[in-house]
Structure 1
Amino acid sequence: MSLNGKVAIVTGSGRGLGLAYAAELARQGASVVVNDVDEQTAASAVASIEAEGGKAVAVVAAVGSTETAKALVAAAVEHFGRLDILVTNAGVLRDTVLWKMSDDDFDTVIGVHLRGTFTCVREAAIRLREQGEGGRIICIGSPTGQRGNFGQTNYAAAKAGIVGMVRTWALELKRAGITANAVIPVAATAMTATVPYFAAAVEADAKGEPMPAFFRHDLGFGTSDDVAGLIAYLASDAAAGVTGQALGVGGDRLQLWSHPEPVVTAYREGGWTYDALAADFDTEFGGELQSVGESFPALPDDLQRPAASA
């Protein structure tokens, strides 16, 4: 097993993707600190890992505060003697369009996703640097953070911010031998279960059946377990040379996302005045403006679901 003797923290790992990550890390030999806001859910996750022969303990707390971050690191050290891996997965959703989004909607999502990632990584980095043996930071992003999505101002901001922090941490932690990467998962979750477009895939997953090839191959949409292998790889010694990257994974597809780079560069002596922009912007940039959001191909006929009756 590739992670024998390693110790990992996985936030938001009571169920879903987080549990899949924790379980795979344990299968690869790591001892795992499980985290969830619900005591019974956390206990069930620990029991499922132990039933497969793994080692796990639970910390029941909401991610976001420094106190929770310190408790997670302390649990790893107290129960398993060290820390090697942190996976920041915890998150919440408060979806609504901009003009209806409340301060609380915004602050709650930013607090868990963005601040929670920051506080947990900060505490982990302190411990990893003290140990002096390197380490692995793996932060969970989203296609929404990369491309935007209708009704998710708060979530898009948080997930884009996480990738920005990862790039910075890769620079700051390199000398200590600590890698920092972002994973962009595409998988069947409670959120995608409500989207009619994914109904055939979600139904197949719920029945324990293989998802149709259209979803797995064409869309790169799969199960939680399809994402877990990348998490374990990035946590291993085999990925020591991978840092500062955003990697997408889902179904049969693995992607390396680019960093933002200029698409077109134009120069004008004396600078770009309003008049110059009005005259030349379309000529210089009009054909290169970037798209936003994600677009999906039409479902094959055999995967379409009849529209609900009124």
Structure 2
Amino acid sequence: MDFSNKVVIVTGAGSGIGQTVSREYALRGARVVVAERDEETGRRHTSALVDAGGSALFVKTDVRREADIISLVNETVNHFGTIDVLINNAGVSRFKPIYELTADEFDDVLFTNLRGTFLCAKEAAKVMRGNPSGGAIVNIGSTRALMSEPNSEAYAASKGGIAALTHALALSLGADRIRVNCISPGWIENGDYGSLRQIDHAQHPAGRVGKPDDIAKACLYLTDPENDFVTGAHLVVDGGMTRKMIYEP
């Protein structure tokens, strides 16, 4: 897939899934905007993209702040002229017993994951609708939107909201030729993949734990202009784990 000269914003791009996703777009010729709250990791990754021959811009962004998101979009347009693709990847988690989880902590997770996704989509769409070919948005959710473990209320609520927000946006923005889809990763190992146990891989129907590359490939598919019939979709990338029936012994 060729993204030559396409302008791609990836939030939370300084590490983990976002880092890999932004790198894969840069390798395919995209002009990448690294939107990251942590300035050190954001600048380091942007420099690595440029050193590898890519075109990249770092914009310090805290998606909890509407002003930061507006600034992100403005700086992108000022530097690259437009926005073709937005990957809403920035997010936080907080796993804490419900009896101890405060309202402020719950709000912070929703403000970052759900409200941040909405605001980024809203501001980017204002630019995308002026493009002859529109644009594409991918929201990164989680299989926690579909299933849970204890003490995950804030995270699950935010990711479930992202899945619902996605199909609402797809309908609202369709007339402006903007496609909106959601990817829900399962277990994606961002650390030392070699340290995983055989049982970790074996419990997945696909036979292995996921890698950030798996999510990057899904992003490329959903944002490729050739795939303009795909919108409002919720793509679960989890090695089949959410399809298993598990009974307690």
Is TM > 0.5 for Structure 1 vs Structure 2? yes
Task: Say if 1:149 and 1:239 are closer, same or farther in 2 by CA, change over 3 A.
Answer: farther
Task: Say if 1:33 and 1:102 are closer, same or farther in 2 by CA, change over 3 A.
Answer: same
Whichever residue aligns with residue 226 of structure 1, its letter is D
Q: Is the Cα–Cα contact under 8 Å of residues 8 and 83 in structure 1 kept in the other structure?
A: yes
1:244 maps to which residue? 232
Out of 185, 188, 204, the position equivalent to 2:194 is: 204
Q: Is the Cα–Cα contact under 8 Å of residues 248 and 254 in structure 1 kept in the other structure?
A: no
- Correspondences of 1:148-159 after superposition (within 5 Å): 148-159=148-159
TM-score calculated relative to the size of structure 1 = 0.73
2:3 maps to which residue? 3
2:76 maps to which residue? 76
Q: Is the Cα–Cα contact under 8 Å of residues 204 and 211 in structure 1 kept in the other structure?
A: no
Out of 194, 201, 214, the position equivalent to 2:202 is: 214
- Correspondences of 1:167-206 after superposition (within 5 Å): 167-189=167-189, 202-204=192-194
Whichever residue aligns with residue 70 of structure 2, its letter is K
Moved more, 10-19 or 43-52: 43-52
Moved more, 20-29 or 112-121: 20-29
Counterpart secondary structure, 2:90: coil
Task: Say if 1:249 and 1:297 are closer, same or farther in 2 by CA, change over 3 A.
Answer: farther
Q: Is the Cα–Cα contact under 8 Å of residues 204 and 241 in structure 2 kept in the other structure?
A: no
Q: CA deviation at 1:80?
A: 1.1
Q: CA deviation at 1:60?
A: 1.1
Whichever residue aligns with residue 213 of structure 2, its letter is D
TM-score calculated relative to the size of structure 2 = 0.90
Which one has a bigger Cα radius of gyration?
A: 1
What is the alpha-carbon root mean square deviation over aligned residues?
Answer: 2.7
Q: Is the Cα–Cα contact under 8 Å of residues 4 and 30 in structure 1 kept in the other structure?
A: yes
Out of 190, 194, 211, the position equivalent to 1:223 is: 211
Task: Say if 1:152 and 1:79 are closer, same or farther in 2 by CA, change over 3 A.
Answer: same
Q: Is the Cα–Cα contact under 8 Å of residues 73 and 124 in structure 1 kept in the other structure?
A: yes
Q: CA deviation at 1:248?
A: 1.4
- Correspondences of 1:112-131 after superposition (within 5 Å): 112-131=112-131
Whichever residue aligns with residue 170 of structure 2, its letter is A
Counterpart secondary structure, 2:130: helix
Q: Is the Cα–Cα contact under 8 Å of residues 220 and 249 in structure 1 kept in the other structure?
A: no
Runs of 5+ consecutive residues of structure 2 not aligned to the other structure: none
Q: Distance in 2 between the 1:240 and 1:163 partners?
A: 19
Q: Distance in 1 between the 2:79 and 2:121 partners?
A: 19
1:271-299 CA-to-partner distances (Å, cap 9, x unmatched) read xxxxxxxxxxxxxxxxxxxxxxx87699x
- Correspondences of 1:39-188 after superposition (within 5 Å): 39-188=39-188
Q: Is the Cα–Cα contact under 8 Å of residues 201 and 207 in structure 2 kept in the other structure?
A: no
Q: Is the Cα–Cα contact under 8 Å of residues 10 and 18 in structure 1 kept in the other structure?
A: yes
Runs of 5+ consecutive residues of structure 1 not aligned to the other structure: 194-201, 258-293, 299-310
Whichever residue aligns with residue 20 of structure 1, its letter is T
1:244-283 CA-to-partner distances (Å, cap 9, x unmatched) read 01101246x699x9xxxxxxxxxxxxxxxxxxxxxxxxxx
Task: Say if 1:103 and 1:36 are closer, same or farther in 2 by CA, change over 3 A.
Answer: same
Moved more, 57-66 or 114-123: 57-66
Residue 31 in structure 1 maps to residue 21 in structure 2:
no
Q: Is the Cα–Cα contact under 8 Å of residues 84 and 136 in structure 2 kept in the other structure?
A: yes
Task: Say if 1:47 and 1:205 are closer, same or farther in 2 by CA, change over 3 A.
Answer: farther
Fraction of identical pairs, as percent? 33
Counterpart secondary structure, 1:99: coil
Task: Say if 1:106 and 1:129 are closer, same or farther in 2 by CA, change over 3 A.
Answer: same
Q: Distance in 2 between the 1:295 and 1:44 partners?
A: 43
Q: CA deviation at 1:216?
A: 6.1
Q: Distance in 2 between the 1:216 and 1:43 partners?
A: 35
Q: Is the Cα–Cα contact under 8 Å of residues 200 and 208 in structure 2 kept in the other structure?
A: no
Q: Distance in 2 between the 1:40 and 1:227 partners?
A: 24
Q: Is the Cα–Cα contact under 8 Å of residues 186 and 241 in structure 2 kept in the other structure?
A: no
Q: CA deviation at 1:166?
A: 0.6
